[in-house]
Amino acid sequence: MAAIYSNVKFKNKGVRETGDGESGEGSSNTNDEIIYSEVRIVQSDKTVVVTTPNAADPSHPNRPGSHDPADSSPEAVTPALAKQRLLLCCLCAVLFAAGLIVTVLYVLGKISPEEKFVSEKVKIIEQLQTENTNLNTTLEEKGKIIDQLQTENTNLNTTLKERDDKIKQLEKEKGTCDPKSQNVDEICCAVGWKYFSGKCYFFSGDTKTWIASRDECLAAGGDLVIISSLEELDFLKRSKPGSGREHYWIGLSDAVKEGDWRWLDGTKLNNTPRYWKVPEPDNWKGGNNEYPEGENCSDMEISSSHFSLYDRLCDEQIVNLKRVCEAKVSK
């Protein structure tokens, strides 16, 4: 942009004479000063000096309205004109900046409503994916916590069971068997055994011969059961697992003398009490209690309302039955 400076100088270029033949009233011979303005325009490091006569001089060829279009000399620049040009340049700059801003806004506004809708949906999907990832992470963490709690609960149950078993063992070792205790079976007897009247009883689930069954009872610290009273028999009926009739080996044998049935403690089988019901064996010959030889061991058929005695082979694999063991409480 051109830098405009105004430098006004006043010079006396001469005296204008007024003769008698010239028109105009009030003419005189006085000397009038002719005023010129000198304007200095600096543009691109070049100085152009324009000398303009006073516009008040009507006879000057460069007065307003008398400029020759063919004249290529620079136009005179007044301070007012320079100010107008400066304002015009500022206005152009402002308009250019406004146009640039409008162009940018137009380009940014070229996104169609559909594209905006898709963009918003993409953002929502991305947000949902992020939330879903966070949710899955949270669920995974909760699953780990649940697994950990389950493991801890299992360990706790194991610890509690071990503690209870230890307490029971200590109570047994201290001889604290209390028949009136609610868990008398656990305190006074081994695991799986039942307490009654100072003894512990065990109903097996597996089957063996009479001899093998007695060996199992002896190894557990007892022997095959010896039934010595109606109360004990009633207890066995109540304690038998299941509801149907089943056969169990008992401690009764006539191995010493055929037909002389005795319990393992040497007590003779008493047929007087009515709770004994000895049916006839399948192969009984009849008369004088003659039982077949070899069937020297007895089992009982028992249920909650039934009891019978049978003689069986003692050591034949074809006769495998369950067993009832008994052991005295030593506490």
Reported as a single tens digit per residue, the pLDDT across 275-285 is 444 444 444 44
Q: Do 323 and 226 sit in the same domain of this protein?
A: yes
| 75 inside domain | no
| 69 inside domain | no
| Domains identified in the chain, total number | 2
| 25 inside domain | no
Q: Do 143 and 279 sit in the same domain of this protein?
A: no
Domain that holds residue 140: 111-174
Question: How would you write the pLDDT of the chain (331 residues) with one tens digit per residue?
Answer: 455 555 555 555 444 444 444 444 444 444 455 555 555 555 544 444 445 455 445 555 555 544 555 555 555 668 888 888 888 898 888 888 888 888 877 776 666 666 667 778 888 988 888 888 888 888 888 888 998 898 888 888 888 888 877 766 665 555 567 888 888 888 888 889 999 999 999 999 999 999 999 999 999 999 999 998 889 999 999 999 988 999 999 999 988 888 888 999 998 887 644 444 444 444 444 433 444 556 889 999 999 888 888 888 998 888 899 999 999 986 6
Tokens describing residue 315: 């050591």
Q: Do 119 and 231 sit in the same domain of this protein?
A: no
Tokens describing residue 140: 């995974």
pLDDT of the residue at 214: 96
| 288 inside domain | yes
Q: Do 151 and 196 sit in the same domain of this protein?
A: no
DSSP 8-state assignment for residue 63: S
Residue with tokens 């015009």: 88
Q: Do 211 and 152 sit in the same domain of this protein?
A: no
| CATH code, domain with 315 | 3.10.100.10
| 189 inside domain | yes
Q: Do 152 and 233 sit in the same domain of this protein?
A: no
Q: Do 324 and 188 sit in the same domain of this protein?
A: yes
Q: Do 219 and 154 sit in the same domain of this protein?
A: no
What single string gives the DSSP state of each residue in 215-246?
Answer: HHHHHTT-EE----SHHHHHHHHHHSSSSS-E
Domain boundary among 174, 192, 208: 174
pLDDT of the residue at 11: 53
Q: Do 316 and 191 sit in the same domain of this protein?
A: yes
Q: Which percentage of the chain shows pLDDT scores above 70? A: 63
Q: Do 147 and 197 sit in the same domain of this protein?
A: no
